[in-house]
A = this chain, B = another copy of it.
Amino acid sequence: MSVTFSLEAYSGAARAGRLITAHGAVETPVFMPVGTVGAVKGVPHDVLEELGAQIILGNTYHLYLRPGHELVRSLGGLHRFMSWERALLTDSGGFQVFSLSGLRKITEEGVVFRSHLDGSSHLFTPERSIEIQIALGADVIMAFDECTEHPADASRTRQSMELTLRWARRSKDYFEAHKAEVPWSASGEQMLVGIVQGGMYGDLRRESAERTVEMEFAGYAIGGLSVGESREKTRDMIGETLEVLPKDKPRYVMGVGYPEEIVQYANMGVDMMDCVLPTRAARHGLLFTSEGRLNIKNTRFAQDQNPVDARCGCKVCSRYTRAYLRHLFVTGEPLAGALNTVHNLAFYLDTMRTVRHAIQLGVGSGILSGSVSSNIRPERP
């Protein structure tokens, strides 16, 4: 059985859909928590399940280095290795090896990079990335692309986009030839998602989308955003791309964003998003609430007996005060990061559930933005 995607309701450009994988359904629009090495930092799986997470991300680069995809394959794939029965998505590893500046070299063949752990040399190619992702066995896997640096001029951006298109073809070809090798092949197939690049140029974004769609991927991602450009530019690039992408396939914007951004993009018709922001910010004491952001280490919370967010029903807001969470944070107690992460993920997942519900009710996107992101300060910190 292949992964299927169906649309259930619309409200303006926004859509409520359902991705059916061999490891359960994912209701969209969805925010996907990042679980780099096969764990969302500090959060046990049963808590993620309680939070209603239907899909989480693993990072191919990290899992390739440790514990290694061959080990994961031999133990039955990532779901079984990490004891997570719901859906998983892996990235291609590309973004992370490109981030190893000074430690990597890009050629037509692929990317030679050095491990950040021991300096050992490795080669990722489109074929290798897909091979690793098949061995890991996430439900949704990503084509190997080049994330264009920012800023980049039009000529350089086109060159990079063309490379991504050639790599997309090679990713697809390798996947079609080897997809039966997924560790859980008896219960279904993986879904390969193509990635649109094109930097900050609307015409290149459209061309990239058109030529990626010609390759007939099961879903389409918009990559290379949130790399330093203005939020308006991010939105414009998403808008240009969405116009070209087929309406019946899932659309995934990678690496975004703030709560008000994910609401906005869902309203534009995006189905999937992921970001380290809620989890990483939590570990630094930055909490998202219905009344804006708060930095829990601030002295003004020292005696504050309110929950982080009075409108939040998560297990952290149900039990602990800001004063206690501040104390845990300033004393460096490991529980601080875990509890903060649970709250931030609850806020993100609840936000997406609210958006989905509003779409099902046919509520317009204006009301959506008003009800969900009211009082959330729009500036980036």
Pull 6 A–B residue pairs with CB atoms less than 8 Å apart, ordered by A: A38-B328, A40-B335, A44-B315, A66-B330, A81-B324, A81-B327
Q: Are A81 and B331 neighbours in the complex by a CB distance under 8 Å?
A: no
Is residue A43 within 8 Å, beta carbon to beta carbon, of the partner chain? yes
Chain B residue numbers with a CB within 8 Å of A38 are 324, 327-328
Interface size on A, residues (CB 8 A): 38
Taking CB atoms and an 8 Å cut-off, the chain A residues in 36-55 that contact chain B are 37-46
- The CA-CA distance from A38 to B40 in the complex, in Å, is 24
Is residue A121 within 8 Å, beta carbon to beta carbon, of the partner chain? no
Chain B residue numbers with a CB within 8 Å of A335 are 39-44
Q: Are B319 and A46 neighbours in the complex by a CB distance under 8 Å?
A: yes
> How near does chain B come to A289, taking the closest CB pair, in angstroms?
19
Q: Are B44 and A338 neighbours in the complex by a CB distance under 8 Å?
A: yes
Is residue A14 within 8 Å, beta carbon to beta carbon, of the partner chain? no
> Which of A43, A67, A335 is most buried by chain B, counting CB atoms within 10 A of its CB?
A335
Given A42-B338, A66-B330, 19 further pairs, Cβ under 8 A: A37-B327, A37-B331, A41-B333, A41-B334, A41-B335, A42-B334, A44-B315, A44-B335, A44-B339, A45-B319, A46-B315, A66-B327, A67-B323, A75-B303, A75-B323, A83-B324, A334-B334, A334-B337, A338-B338
- The CA-CA distance from A39 to B324 in the complex, in Å, is 10
Is residue A321 within 8 Å, beta carbon to beta carbon, of the partner chain? yes
Taking CB atoms and an 8 Å cut-off, the chain A residues in 73-93 that contact chain B are 74-75, 81-83
Residues of A within 8 A of B (CB): 37-46, 62, 66-67, 71, 74-75, 81-83, 302-303, 305, 315, 319-321, 323-324, 327-328, 330-331, 333-335, 337-339
Q: Are A67 and B327 neighbours in the complex by a CB distance under 8 Å?
A: yes
- The CA-CA distance from A4 to B71 in the complex, in Å, is 56
- The CA-CA distance from A324 to B44 in the complex, in Å, is 12
Chain B's closest residue to A76 (CB) is B305
| Identical chains bound together, number | 2
Q: Kindly list the 6 A-B residue pairs having the minimum CB-CB distance in the complex, ordered from nearest.
A: A42-B334, A37-B331, A39-B335, A67-B327, A83-B319, A39-B333
- The CA-CA distance from A38 to B284 in the complex, in Å, is 20
Q: Are A71 and B338 neighbours in the complex by a CB distance under 8 Å?
A: no
- The CA-CA distance from A323 to B305 in the complex, in Å, is 41
Q: Are B305 and A75 neighbours in the complex by a CB distance under 8 Å?
A: yes
Chain B residue numbers with a CB within 8 Å of A303 are 71, 74-75
- The CA-CA distance from A335 to B48 in the complex, in Å, is 13
Chain B residue numbers with a CB within 8 Å of A66 are 327, 330-331
Q: Are A81 and B323 neighbours in the complex by a CB distance under 8 Å?
A: yes
Chain B residue numbers with a CB within 8 Å of A315 are 44, 46
> How near does chain B come to A297, taking the closest CB pair, in angstroms?
12
- The CA-CA distance from A45 to B315 in the complex, in Å, is 11
Chain B residue numbers with a CB within 8 Å of A305 are 75
Chain B residue numbers with a CB within 8 Å of A71 are 302-303, 323
- The CA-CA distance from A323 to B41 in the complex, in Å, is 18
Partner of A83, one of B40, B302, B320, B330: B320
> Which of A43, A320, A323, A331 is most buried by chain B, counting CB atoms within 10 A of its CB?
A331
- The CA-CA distance from A270 to B81 in the complex, in Å, is 42
Do A37 and B324 contact each other (CB < 8 Å), given the known contacts A303-B74, A339-B44? no
- The CA-CA distance from A320 to B337 in the complex, in Å, is 21
Chain B residue numbers with a CB within 8 Å of A42 are 42, 333-335, 338
> How near does chain B come to A15, taking the closest CB pair, in angstroms?
34
Q: Are B337 and A37 neighbours in the complex by a CB distance under 8 Å?
A: no
> How near does chain B come to A246, taking the closest CB pair, in angstroms?
38
> How near does chain B come to A243, taking the closest CB pair, in angstroms?
41
